Amino acid sequence: MIHALTIDVEDYHNIFARDRLKREGPPTDAVVRNTQRLLSLFDEFGARGTFFVLGEVARDYPKLIREIASAGHELGIHGFYHRQVFKLTPEDFRREVCDARTIVEDIVGVPVHGHRAPAFSIMPATRWGLEVLADAGFRYDSSVFPISGRRYGWPDFRSDIHIMELPGGRRIVEAPLSTVSVLGRRLPACGGGYLRHFPGGVTRWAMRKVGHERPAILYMHPYEIEQDDAPLDLARLSPAEARAVTRFHRLQLRNRRTVEPKLRALLAEFRFAPMRDIVESALGIRLADFAGSESNLRRSAV
């Protein structure tokens, strides 16, 4: 079984400042450093994956995007400013993903097929996002977490990679994030905070368990292997806000030191490929051909 290796390329520092401190700023070069560390780690193990990148990262660090592509990885889109889909109108969502895709395609010179929403924010309330993506020509999405989560999730969503027939007549491939059933509950276990905070054996167990039925989708962020404790500028916050963001920041930094060894163990045990390849072999399609049927549908839907 070959699994999907997926990286959401964003800068912790500017997203943290935007979401938690309400301060706008460009991505810092930490995203470059950390992504390059991942690239050399993946290269060491001969693993290839999909890097879903933010438009603002591609805009500010085009050389990094070229490095990812020339190392043999697939590029996808992770929004422009990491705004969750529910914070956007359909028009703004479309503009963000299309602007990001234009920047990435201009840099690498090959079509971008895939999308992952910031914070897995394709949910029942934002299912219109799939229509927007299909209409904009994206071939696959990998944003749905089929769980009932506090911040995200689409309970009862199918667990396998499948083609969704959308109400407007369009179609898109959805590759939902991996879950494992424990005592009748579907839990996420193949990446992100779960990789960071759980012992490494938990993720390896979850990947094996998922792998009995289908490819697992491992996801992570470059900043998870960064070990620098970035100073926080709390100047314009109330004392209560400052305490809350400091607490959140500490939780985010916790166990980062454990991520690289855990990742090495995963790369040594499992075989990984870009999401594009995983989707194509799971469904027996070519994503480029899938676009043809979709644009026919689009024309008939107008």
Which stretches of the chain bind Zn ion, using CB under 5 A? 8, 10, 118
Indicate the Cα dihedral angle 31, 37, 41, 44, nearest 10°: 130
Residue 8: CB minimum distance to Zn ion, A: 4
Give the bridge partners for 165, in sequence order: 171
CA distance 25 to 30: 14
Residue 122: CB minimum distance to Zn ion, A: 13
Cβ neighbours of residue 210 closer than 8 Å, sequence gap 6 or more: 178, 179, 180, 190, 216
Q: What is the largest CA-CA distance in the chain?
A: 57
Residue 79: CB minimum distance to Zn ion, A: 8
Choice between 11 and 294, CB closer to Zn ion: 11
Residue 223: CB minimum distance to Zn ion, A: 10
Choice between 56 and 294, CB closer to Zn ion: 56
Choice between 10 and 11, CB closer to Zn ion: 10
> Cβ-closest residue to Zn ion?
8
Task: Write phi, then psi, for 209 (nearest 5 degrees).
Answer: -65, -50
CB atoms within 10 A of CB 238: 9
Helix, strand, coil distribution of the chain in percent, nearest 5: 50, 15, 35
Choice between 8 and 56, CB closer to Zn ion: 8
Residue 10: CB minimum distance to Zn ion, A: 5
Choice between 166 and 188, CB closer to Zn ion: 188
